[in-house]
Chains A and B, each alone.
Chain A
Amino acid sequence: MTIPKRILLVEDDAAVCDLLAEFLTSQDFGVVQASNVDTALAALGTDGPFDLAVLDFWLEDTTAIPIMDALASHGRRTPVIAISGGNEIIDMEAVQALSDISGAVTFLQKPFAKETLIDAVTAALHA
Chain B
Amino acid sequence: MDGSAILERLRDRFGTRIVETHDFRGDHTAVVDRPALPDVLRACRDDAELGFDVLMDLTAVDYSRYPGREDGPRFEVVYHLYSLAWNHRLRVKVRVEEDDAVVPTAVRLWPIANWFEREVWDMFGVRFEGHPDPRRLLMYEEFVGHPLRKDYPVSRRQPLIGPKV
A interacts with B = no
Which residues of A approach B to under 8 Å, CB–CB?
Answer: none
